[in-house]
Amino acid sequence: MKAVVWHGTKDVRVEEVPDPRIEQATDAVIRVTSTNICGSDLHLYEPLGAFMKPGDVLGHESMGIVEEVGSEVGDLSVGDRVVIPFQVCCGHCWMCEHGLQSQCETTQVREQGTGATLFGYSELYGSLPGGQAQYLRVPQAQYTHVKVPDGPADDRFVYLSDVLPTAWQAVAYADPEPGGTLLVLGLGPIGDMACRIALQRGVSRVIGVDRVDARLARARERGVETIDLREVDEVGDAVRQLTSGRGADAVVDAVGMEAHGSPVAKAGHKLVGMLPDAVAKPLMTTVGIDRLAAFYSAIDAVRRGGTISLSGVYGGMTDPMPMMTLFDKQVQIRMGQANVKRWVPDILPLLTDDDPLGVDGFATHHLPIEQAPEAYRTFQAKEDGMVKVVLSPHASTA
C-alpha cells in the first residue's frame, strides 16, 4: 500500500509499504478514505525527529471503512464507516472509565513514561504505524473507533479524530463564562476551531491572535476579533486595551513548542535536529527546548484569577516557568492530549446538515496522498493559505 513515510528531518516520502494485518483479537483493519495532516505532525517533521525512525508511517487523523476485524471487537463489523481517534484506548480501564482516554492504562507507553499509544507519533508514543496510508491497523478496535452514518462527505466527520475534540477540550478546560472574553493564541486548525466552538457555546467575545493573513481572515469571517502579531509589540498590552485594562478571562494556547518570537529556542531546535539521536533524545527529554513565546503571552494576557488552557504541544522537561507571576496572578492552568471519546457525544449533535461549526468547508486543501511531501513543506511554511489538509489515499495523480 501507499503511505507517507518519515525518512529524516524535513524528509517525508510516499512509498509502498506492507499492508497491515490483524495481529490481535481486538484489532481491525480499515481502508482509509480520508486522512489529515495535523499541526502536531510538523513537530515530527523537524524538532522531534530524534524519536523517529526511517520508515515510520505518519498520521493520526483518519477515517474509513472497516475491511477486516478480529474476534474480539464488540459490535464493530466489516463495512462500518468509522472515524479513528488519534489515541488507542481500551474503554474498560480506570482512566477510560473516568473520561481520561489519553491516559489509557492498557496502552500507556510505560517504557517512555508517556500516556496512551498514539497513531504515527514516534517511539515516545508507541511507534504505532499511522493513518496517512491506504490502510490502517487499529488496535483496541472494540473502543478505538467512532461509528458515523453513511451519506455526508468525509469532511463532515473526519475532524472527530483530533481537531474537533482537541479544540472542544481546549475551550472546556479554559471554561470561559458566556459573557466573558476568550483569547485564542494561534489560528491554525485547532485555534480556528476553538474559536468556532467557543462562539457556538455562547462565549460573547472571542479574540484570535496570529500573523498569517489567511488565518486572520478566516477567523474574522466567523465573527472573531483578531490581533495581528505583526502590528503589536506585546499581545498582553493589546488584549488589555480591548478589555478595559483587565485582560482575557481565559486563554487557549493553540501554538505550543514552535512559537514565533523565541529565537534562542528556535536555534536550539535546529541544533538538536543536527545531533545524532543518541545525543538528541536525552536533550529533548531533560532540557528546556520549547519556544515559549506563546505561553508567556498567555500568562501576560490572562486576567488575574483567569484560566489558561494549553492544547499546543510542548516537549521540554526543564522549561523556565515564571512561577512568581503565575502564583501572584492566581492563574489556573489545564492541559493535555484531548480525550477524544469523552467529547464525541457533545460534538456529534453539531455535525448536522446545518453545519454550525463549518466543518464541511474547514479544509483549505484536498490532495491525493502522493502530494503529501509538498503539503508538509507548504504547511510548515504557512504558505498558499494552507490551514488544513485532507489527503485522499485512494485518489491518484497518475
- Say what the pLDDT of residue 285 is: 53
User: What CATH number should be reported for the domain holding residue 74?
Assistant: 3.90.180.10
* Residue 219 shares a structural domain with residue 300: yes
pLDDT in tens, the chain (398 residues): 999 999 999 999 999 999 999 999 999 999 999 999 999 899 898 867 778 999 999 999 999 999 999 999 999 999 999 999 999 999 999 999 999 999 999 999 999 999 999 999 989 999 999 999 999 999 999 999 999 999 999 999 999 999 999 999 999 999 999 999 999 999 999 999 999 999 999 999 999 999 999 999 999 999 999 999 999 999 999 999 999 999 999 999 998 765 554 444 444 445 455 555 554 555 455 444 467 888 999 999 999 999 999 987 776 666 678 888 988 999 999 999 999 999 999 999 999 999 999 999 999 999 999 999 999 999 999 999 999 999 999 976 44
Assess contact for 377 and 10: CB atoms under 8 A. Answer: yes
**Angular region, 195: left φ>0, alpha ψ -120 to 50, beta rest:** alpha
Nearest-angstrom CA–CA distance, 255 and 236: 16
Cell 507507553 identifies what position?
Answer: 109
Query: How confident is the model at residue 326, as a pLDDT?
Result: 87
Residues 176 and 315 grouped into a single domain: yes
Q: Is residue 398 part of a domain?
A: no
Domain count, the chain: 2
| Total H helices, total E strands in the chain | 12, 18
Do residues 66 and 80 touch, judged by C-beta distance below 8 A?
yes
Is 252 found in the same domain as 194? Answer: yes
Flag whether 213 is in a domain.
Answer: yes
| H or E segment to which residue 366 belongs | strand 365-368
pLDDT for residue 282: 57
CB-based contacts of 386, cutoff 8 Å, min separation 6? 364, 365, 375, 378, 379
User: Both 19 and 101 in a single domain?
Assistant: yes
Do 171 and 202 lie in one domain? The reply is: yes
Separation between Cα atoms, residue 363 and residue 174, nearest integer Å: 25
| Other C-beta atoms lying within 10 Å of the C-beta of residue 50 | 22
pLDDT in the model for residue 313: 72
Half-sphere exposure of 259 (CA within 13 A, CB side): 27
Please state, in angstroms and rounded to a whole number, the distance separating the CA atoms of residues 329 and 322: 11
Q: Can you give the pLDDT at residue 31?
A: 98
Could you list the residue range(s) of the whole structural domain that residue 239 is in? 167-335
Residue 304 resides in a domain: yes
Kindly state whether residues 83 and 21 are assigned to the same domain: yes
In a domain, 109, yes or no: yes
For residue 51, what pLDDT is reported?
83
Instruction: Say if residue 291 is in the same domain as residue 348.
Output: no
Do 246 and 152 share a structural domain?
Answer: no
Q: Give residue 264's pLDDT.
A: 42
Based on the fold, state whether residues 153 and 13 are members of the same structural domain: yes
| Helix pair 163-174, 340-347: axis angle to 10 deg | 90
Nearest-Å Rg of the Cα atoms of the chain is 20
Q: Is residue 397 part of a domain?
A: no
Cα–Cα distances (Å) from 196 to 131, 308, 358, 396, in that order, read: 26, 18, 8, 33
Q: Could you give the CA distance from residue 293 to residue 271 in angstroms, rounded to a whole number?
A: 19
CB atoms within 10 A of CB 396: 10
pTM beyond 0.85, yes or no:
yes
Q: Domain holding 248: CATH number?
A: 3.40.50.720
Closest of 74, 70, 62 to residue 31, by C-alpha: 62
The burial of 234, by beta-carbon neighbours within 10 Å (0-12 exposed, 13-18 middle, 19 or more buried), is given as: exposed
Q: What is the pLDDT of residue 278?
A: 54
Q: What is the 3-state secondary structure (H, E, C) of 371-383?
A: HHHHHHHHHHHCC
* Domain end position, chosen among 309, 335, 361: 335
Q: How far is CA 202 from CA 180, 198, 233, in A?
A: 10, 6, 30
Query: Are 320 and 176 part of one and the same domain?
Result: yes
Q: What is the predicted pLDDT for the residue at 293?
A: 85
| pLDDT value, residue 269 | 47
211 plus 235 within the same structural domain: yes
Instruction: Tell me the C-alpha distance between 73 and 67, whole Å.
Output: 13
